[in-house]
Structure formats: structure tokens, C-alpha cells
Amino acid sequence: MCHVLIIEDDALIALDLQGMLEAAGALSFSFADSEAEAIAEARARRPDVIASDVMLREGSGPGAVQAIHAEYGPLPVFYVTGTPEACQPCEPPVHIVPKPATQEAIRAAFTQVRGGC
């Protein structure tokens, strides 16, 4: 089973990402629109992959990813963002898909990071 945590503060974009990731093979999803909510969702169900925006309503995607990695160790992650230059800290190797994201770009990023998921 491939469970994806989508960290995105725009609900329509989050649902669009869900559809793209389902088409790419993801099977279940959790959603968060803030750094604190992302950490809580990861604690509730450990994700196999994280798809995250950079700038959030509260906090940041990289901050959430860093906190989740501190608890669970490295998990596959890719960023979908309109502000790739703001992806700090984003430790390599990092996959950044610029918004507006295409189905092909999301599929490619997901395929690159998903591992055995």
C-alpha cells in the first residue's frame, strides 16, 4: 500500500494532486494545510511518500518535512511549489515540481521517489 501525505494549503490543489497521484499508483492519502497539522497527520499514519508545498498557511512544508524526518527517519519527499527558490531547508536529493504542475511532472517526481511503495 502506498500512503501519501499531501501538505498543501489550497484545498483545490490538494485534491488535484490526489487525483494525479492516484493515477500514478498511490492508494491512500492524508492531507494537511499547516506545518503542525502535517506533523500530526504523519503521527496518525506514517506516510510512505510526502508531497509538499513550500509556503503554507502556517509554517512551511520544509519545516514539516524536517520534523517528520526527525521522528521517522528519511521518507521519500517531493515538493510542488510556486516558489522553488524558497525551498529552505530542502536537503538533496530533492525533487521540486514547479506550479502549475502537470500530470506528467507529478508522475515523474512520484516515480522517482516512491521506492518500493
- pLDDT tens digit sequence for 5-16: 999 999 999 999
Mean pLDDT, residues 48-52 taken together: 97
Using DSSP bridges, classify how beta strands 77-81 and 49-52 pair: parallel, antiparallel or unpaired: parallel
What pLDDT, on a 0 to 100 scale, did the predictor assign at position 92? 62
Distance of CA 9 to the CA centre of its chain: 12
Supply angle C-alpha 75, 96, 54, rounded to 5: 80
Q: With 80 as the cut, is the pLDDT of residue 97 above it?
A: yes
Give the CATH number for residue 46: 3.40.50.2300
Is it true that the peptide bond before 93 is cis, omega within 30 degrees of 0? yes
Mean pLDDT, residues 21-40 taken together: 97
Q: With 70 as the cut, is the pLDDT of residue 95 above it?
A: yes
pTM, two decimals, is 0.95
Mean pLDDT, residues 59-82 taken together: 95
Domain membership of residue 72 as a residue range: 3-113
- For the purposes of burial, counting CB atoms within 10 Å of the CB of 7, is it exposed (0-12), middle (13-18) or buried (19 or more)? buried
State how many domains the chain has.
1
